[in-house]
Structure formats: structure tokens, C-alpha cells
Structure 1
Amino acid sequence: MPSGGPSAGAPGGVGGELLRTLTLRDAVGVGLGAMLGAGVFAVWGPATRAAGPAVLVAVLLAGAVATCNALSSAALAARYPAAGGAYVYGRERLGPLWGYLAGWTFVVGKTASCAAMAMTAAAYLAPGREKVAAVVAVVAVTALNLAGVQRSAGVTRVVVGIVLATLLGVLVAAGLPGAPTGGTVPLTVGDDVLGLLQGAGLFFFAFAGYARIATLGEEVRDPGRTIPRAVVVSLTVVLAVYLLLAVGLLRGLGVDAVAGSSAPVADLAAASLPGPGETVVRVVAGLAALGALLNLLLGISRTTVAMARDGHLPRVWATLSGPRRVPRTAELVVGAVLLVVVLLADLRGAIAFSSFGVLLYYAVANASALTLRWQWRGAPWVPALGLAGCLTLALALPGPAVAGGLAVLALGLVGYALTRRRDAAG
């Protein structure tokens, strides 16, 4: 089994090291921005349609799997504080193939997430002009990332503050005496176990953001201390917000209304906040989607840099530019690919497809964490439960997403075989 010390997986190759400029506050902001994005506004309808009255249990189940993933990712990120996240962990702990598969599923799955975020922002902010607005969003966010990660982290903190304040305002209004109620808050598993698992798998889309902290590990100050704390803090805050929002939505609208709505948070605001409440929520939802897109592009470009350093992608993509040592080539490549996806792809299944890829990504992370036996004294079940949970939720997703994900995985294996043959010939 490949292994390495704390410096294993350190950056090398084209361009040298990224600069460590992110503080704990920055890292927490990045994690919150990635999780409190379009998912919190868009995922409730699909997840509730799948889980039905068990939607609250689905949220808890997705949160439990996410917690195990977060603890595994934090332990690994502290040991391997290099850009790339589970790509680096899989490579160092399990072997190059597993690292490659983690990087491949992350880049493909998160590209689908980026497209969903861009289209969600456009739908909220520019209804009727979604395609043009989505293209403008991708170009603007890519330009911001080209200016450097520190500026991106600063913008993310502002977006997170606005989103949290808005969600809490809606929840307070919905909980006031006299506010409309649509039903009870069911806490039941029911007979449809597959629906529950499918709902949890879809809802995982809204949790999949804490790894952004790990993928930026090479740019975090004192990563051994900062990354674990940032992961735990951001995930705890988000889980609390999601549970409160689930209760508010179910109490204010009812299960059927949430399941049938494309914008249930806006619907709750319209029912609870007379006047401009719905408009405010729609504007904030659009900003949140842009904030999530900002952070997603950061994570994809850093994983691209790590894979390019190892020759799985063109090495020139690992080039770092300017005094801030920004991976501008990787940023531009990812932005160009995303523009094509936004313009051409049918994104109705983007959430499920993205969840499938990201769950496989975290499965590699948990399998890697299992090899850190010294880390899990008293809690060896953490990475094991995370691994089992990821695989179960991934396979429970809708059939087209699973089939498409497996096809993309097979394509990635073909690409890996070709690069290995090229390296052997050279």
C-alpha cells in the first residue's frame, strides 16, 4: 500500500507551490459558501418528491454521511495539505489509480454542479433569459477567480452572511404566531426505503461543499490545525441551518407543497413575509448560487492542477501565474468547458448526476482514511460508515444518473489506461 509522511503529495512540477494566504475565517467562509449555495434553495423539491414524509430523516441521513466524510477528509487534509483533496489522498494511501478516479469523479461531478449553479442563479435573477445570464455568470466568476483566491474568499464571506441572515429571517417570520401553516413535521422512515435513500442521496448535493476546504489545502495557513477546525465548524453550522429550514418548510408549506415546488424557500417567504419578502429571497438565492459557483470553480481548478502535475492532464495546466501564483491556465480551461456545458447540456438531472460523482469521490476519501489507523482510536467506524454510506446513497440515486455516472467512470478508466501506456512508451 502506498504511503507517505506529512510531506507526501507535496506540490511539485510546473510552477511550484501555491501561496498560503487563507486563515481559519477564510476557510470556514469557503466551506459555508460552497454548502449554503443553490443547493439550499433548489434541492428541497426533488429530495422531498423522492423521500416523501421521510424527508426530515433523509436530511439527517445525508448529514450523518457528510459528517463521516468531513471527519475523514479533515484527518487526511491535515496529513496531506496539498491541492487536490481526495485525489491526493487516494494516490498516497491507496495507489495512483484510486487517486486518479477520485480526481476524475470530482471534476466531472462538480462540473455538472457548476452548470446547475449557473442555471439556478440565472433562473432566479433573470427569468426568461437563463442561457445568456448563465454565460455571463460563468464569465464573471471565472474572472474573479483569476484575480486570486484571497479575493474570492472575501467575496464568499459577504455572500454567506447575506444568505444566513435571509434564511434566519424567513424562519423567524414563519415561526411567529399567526404565520400560515401547511401541516405537521413528520419524523418517520415509512415503508419506501429506496425513496428515503434516494432522497438522502439527492440532498447530499446540498452538503457537498466542505471538501472545498481540503482541495484548497495548499493555500491554507497552518493546515494541520486550520483545516480540521474549518471543516467541523462549517459542517455544524450548515447542518443546523438545514434542519431548521426543513422544519420551517414542512410546517409552513406541508410535504406535498414542498415536493411540488421549484422554489419552496421563496414560497415560504411569500407566505410568511408580506410585501417584498419573496423578491428578496429570489435575489439572495441568485447571489448564493453565484457564491457556490465561485467556490466550485476554485475546487475544480485546484484538482485539475494536482492531476496535471502528475501527468494525467496536460502539464501546462499546472502553471501558476502572477505574484499571487494563481493557476490561471486551469481556471480558463475549466471556465471554457463549463461554458460549453451550460450552452448545450440538458441539466434536469444535474443534481443526481453530480451527487453520484461526488459520493464516489468521498468513497475514495473514506477508503483512504481507513488506512490511517492511528487516527481512529476509539472511533474506527467513522471512515467505514462513511464509505458504506457513500456507496449506498450513490447506488440508490435515480437509474439514469447511476447509468450515466458509471459510463463516465468507465471513460475515465480508459483515459487512465491510455496515459499509463503513453508514460510507459516514453
Structure 2
Amino acid sequence: MAEGLSRRLSTVDAVVVGLSAMVGAGVFAALAPAARAAGSWLLAALALAALVAYCNATSSARLAALYPESGGTYVYGRRRLGHLWGYLAGWGFAIGKTASCAAMALTFGAYVAPALARPLAIGAVVALTVLNLFGVQRSAGVARVLVAFVLAVLVAVSLAGLGLAGGNAAAYAAFSRDVGVLGVLQGAGLLFFAFAGYARIATLGEEVRDPSRTIPRAIGIALAIALAVYALVAVSALHALGPLRLAMSQAPLADVARASGAGWLVPVVGVGAAVAALGALLALLLGISRTVLAMSRERDLPAALAIVGDGVPRRAEVAVGVAVVALLLVADLRGAIGFSSFGVLVYYAVANASAFTLTREEGAPPRWIPVLGFVLCVLLACSLPLSSVLSGLAVFAIGVTIWAVRSRLR
């Protein structure tokens, strides 16, 4: 019988892990493409993304309290909907987020030293993988420092932008066009991933103390903090730059600092982005390794990866680290991971469908929450750029083929 994981994480630890994934490097870059899609309706897109996140978080929290195991929606899908649906959720999460790990590592390298981005990215993955081998509590301690610094940077830039007298009213008026429903949906789809980190709390369900209370509470707190910070950042960016300049910006928060006259904040923003990328990478590596552990226990991945020693799934963690380094060696993934967005939305669609099957005795949320969450996940997934949808469908087709072959061999 394989050794189980150790329950060492408190509510604060779980909140920090979720925040380190949510308040990642994405917030430093996601505002610009979202503004290009949604225009002056950026705040509406943010509100829609937050609504999707709330539905997904509520469904995930109720399921995680009932099934406090590693694996997140992979486990919930298997238990509530059947093997295939759980497998698809796990496959989409593991493949998509492995690519996201490579992208976060490259983001870190690009901010620190662009000419050495790839070696620095590989070094970051190796260092954080080694850190995770010492246990999740050690990793959570490092995440606290990273999250505190990133939040301080975001608040400082936002206050500087809001302090700009008058703002950029002319630019705002110039871009106050009717972007249509599709523009708002695409903007929400891009901004949604700023909230998606709360899944990391659920995937660590086997390592949280008193999971039936801690997981729902931690997810709610992390989501509320992230929403407050993102709303502050978005309002500040719109006030300082206006939708047009924000949409064209390559480094939105740095431009907010320049526009507000706080030039000294520009290098701080660069450091904040690098630190945020490290925090997101740390949380991603933890979450993926726990999903790999769960899939290996059910023989959907090699059973050797399910071995746990001293309460730490070291083989799964090393396997994930090796996979990310391999991707970094062969490809530049910063512009080639559109399918990751599609995969995460499918992951949460399965979570909502699973939550819909819960009974009142099992702690079912109000019916409208999983229904609305499922519909919005599917809608946002279909609203993504065509290339992202097609690459996502191709990745899932490969996953279904592998599942079918392995099922027949069994």
C-alpha cells in the first residue's frame, strides 16, 4: 500500500498557495490583450471572469470538502461522472499546465536577463523542483514571501495610477467603442486565468489540515483577495492610460508607473513580474505533481509515479520538473500555449458538472451555481481564438486516443 501524503497545511498556507498561483505573472500582462478584446468594457469582462471564477470555486470547494484527496477535478470527475471524464480533466490540466510552467519560467528569465532567458528558466524549474522535494510546507513558506512582495508592488502601482489627476480621459473616449458581446467574452476568457489558481488549493486536498473546513474557506479568501487586487489594478490602469493605450501596451503596469510620474516604480514592476512568475511556477509545479500522483494511483499514468516517501510525492514532482525542462529545451512556448486556456476551461466544466450531481446531504451548492459555471466555461472556451480552440481539441483528441488504447490493453 502506497504511503499517503502528510496533512501539514493550515488555512493561511492554503490561501498563500492559491494566491501565489492567482497573483502570478499573468496580471502583469493579461490586461493588455483583454483591453484589446473588450475595449472600454474591460471592467465588465473582469466582472464576468470573476463570476465564472466564483461558480467554479464554489463547485470545487464543495467537491474538495467531500473528497479531500490529491488530484482535484480528476478525482471528482471519476467519482461523480465516470472514468473518462475524470481522465479528460486530469489530462487537460496536466498537459496544459505543464506548458504554462514552461511559459512562467521563460517569463521569469525574460525579466531577469532576456539574453539568458532559457538557461535562467531551466535553473528556476530545477531549483523549485528541488525545493518541493523537501515538502509542501517548506514551499508554502517561500510562497508567503513571494506573494507578499507581489501584492505590495501591485498595490503601490495601482495607488500611483489612481493618484494621477484627471486620468487619460481623451484616450478613454477614443476607445469607447462597441466591442460587442464576443469582445467582452474574449476579454473575460483572457482575464479568467488570473483567477484560476484556486484549483491549486483543491489539488493539495490530501495535505491540508481539517480539509472539509479549510479548503472551502481558503478558496473563498484567496478568490476575494485576488478579485479586490485585480479590480484595483484594472481601474488604475484604465484611469492612467485609457483603454486604447492600455490595449497597445507591452508592459501595462510599467506604463502606469511612468504615466503617474512614479518612474522609480518601473524597475520595481520588473522585479515584481519576475517574482510573480516564480510564485506561479512554484504553485503550478505543486498542483501538477499532485494531479500526476492521483492519475498514477489509478494507472492512468505509470504506477511508479504514485510512490510517496516521507509524505512527499518525490517521483511525481521530479517527473513534472523533467517534463517542463524538456519543453524548455525544445520549444519557445510563450506564444504557443493557447490550448492551455482551452484545457483549463474544460477542466472547470467537468468540476461544475460533477458538483451538479451532489445531493443536499453531500453539501451540494445551489443548483444555479454549477449550471451557470458549466455554461460560462463552455461559452468562454468556444469564444477563444480559433487557433486556441483547434489546438485544444487536438490535445484532447490525443488524450482520448491514449485512454482508449490503455483501456483496451487492460
Cα displacement (A) at 1:178: 4.2
Q: Indicate if the aligned counterparts of 2:296 and 2:303 stay in contact, CA closer than 8 A.
A: yes
Quick check: 239-248 or 51-60, which moved more? 51-60
Q: Which moved more, 1:146-155 or 1:345-354?
A: 345-354
Partner residue of 2:333 out of 343, 347, 367: 347
2:320 aligns with one of 331, 334, 343: 334
Aligned-residue sequence identity (percent) comes to 57
Structure 1 equivalent of residue 35 of structure 2:
48
Distance in 2 between the 1:217 and 1:399 partners? 35
> Residues 326 and 209 (structure 1 numbering): CA distance in 2 closer, same or farther, change over 3 Å?
same
CA distance in 2, matches of 1:255, 1:118: 29
Distance 2:209 2:67 in 1: 13
Cα shift at 1:193: 1.8
Structure 1 distance, partners of 2:342, 2:327, is 18
Structure 1 Cα separation of the partners of residues 8 and 374 of structure 2:
32
Which of 333-342 and 174-183 deviates more?
174-183
1:15-94 correspondence runs (5 A): 15-94=2-81
Q: Is residue 76–residue 86 contact of structure 2 (8 Å, CA) maintained in 1?
A: yes
Whole-angstrom distance in 2 between the partners of 1:48 and 1:219: 38
Q: Tell me the equivalent position of 1:200.
A: 188
In structure 1, C-alpha distance between the alignment counterparts of 2:226 and 2:8, rounded to whole Å: 24
- What residue is the counterpart of 1:136 in the other structure? 123
Superposition TM-score, scaled by structure 1 size: 0.92
The 5 Å alignment of 1:349-388 reads 349-350=335-336, 352-374=338-360, 379-388=366-375
Greater shift, 172-181 or 399-408, is seen at 172-181
Q: Following TM superposition, by how much is the alpha carbon of 1:51 offset from its aligned partner in structure 2, in angstroms?
A: 1.9
Aligned to 2:238: 250
Shift of 1:272: 2.4
Amino acid of the residue matched to residue 289 of structure 2? S
Q: How many residues align?
A: 408
Cα contact 1:189–1:196 (8 A) shared by 2: no
Cα distance in 2 for partners of 1:230, 1:141 equals 23
Change (3 A) 1:196 1:303: same
CA contact (8 A) 2:128 2:282 kept: yes
Match of 1:107?
Answer: 94
Contact 1:170/1:273, CA 8 A, preserved across alignment: no
Map of 1:214 onto structure 2? 202
1:45-67 residue CA offsets vs partner (Å, 9 max, x unmatched): 22222222222111111110010
Contact 1:183-1:250 within 8 A present in 2 as well: no
Q: Which amino acid aligns with 2:329?
A: L
Specify the alignment match of 1:227 in structure 2.
Answer: 215
Can you give the 5+ residue segments of structure 2 that lack an aligned partner in the other structure? none
Q: Deviations over 1:129-186 (max 9, x none)?
A: 2112111111111111112111110111111111111111111122225486465768
Q: Is the 8 A contact 2:358 2:364 kept in 1?
A: no
Q: Distance in 2 between matches of 1:81 and 1:27?
A: 13
Equivalent residue of 2:197, what SS? Answer: coil
Structure 1 pair 185–92 and aligned structure 2 pair: CA distance change class (3 A): farther
Matched residue type, 1:342: L
In 2, Cα distance between equivalents of 1:421 and 1:347: 34
| Structure 1 unaligned regions, length at least 5 | 1-12
Q: Aligned partners of 1:53 and 1:293: how far apart in 2? A: 31
Query: Partner letter of residue 240 of structure 1?
Result: A
Is the contact between residue 120 and residue 289 of structure 1 (CA under 8 Å) also seen in structure 2? yes
Whole-Å Cα distance in 2 between the matches of residues 236 and 292 of structure 1?
A: 18
Residue 20 of structure 1: how far off its partner (Å) = 0.1
The match for 2:260 is: 272
Structure 1 residues 397 and 381, CA, compared in 2 at 3 Å: closer, same or farther? Answer: same
Determine helix, strand or coil for the equivalent of 2:115: coil
Per-residue deviation, 1:349: 3.7
Q: 1:45 and 1:134 mapped to 2: Cα distance?
A: 24
Q: Whole-Å Cα distance in 2 between the matches of residues 27 and 99 of structure 1?
A: 24
Letter in 2 for 1:386: G
Task: Give me the CA root mean square deviation.
Answer: 1.9
Question: Under a length normalisation based on structure 2, what TM-score does the superposition of the two structures give?
Answer: 0.95
Cα distance between partner residues in 1 of 2:207 and 2:365:
31
Letter in 2 for 1:339: V
Please list the CA deviations of residues 72-128 of structure 1 after superposition, one character each: whole Å capped at 9, or x if unmatched.
Answer: 000000000000000000000011111111100010111121122111111111122
Which residue identity lines up with residue 315 of structure 1 in the other structure?
A
Could you report, residue by residue, the CA deviation over 1:227-283 in whole angstroms, capped at 9, with x for unpaired residues?
000000000110111111111001111112211122101221233253431001100
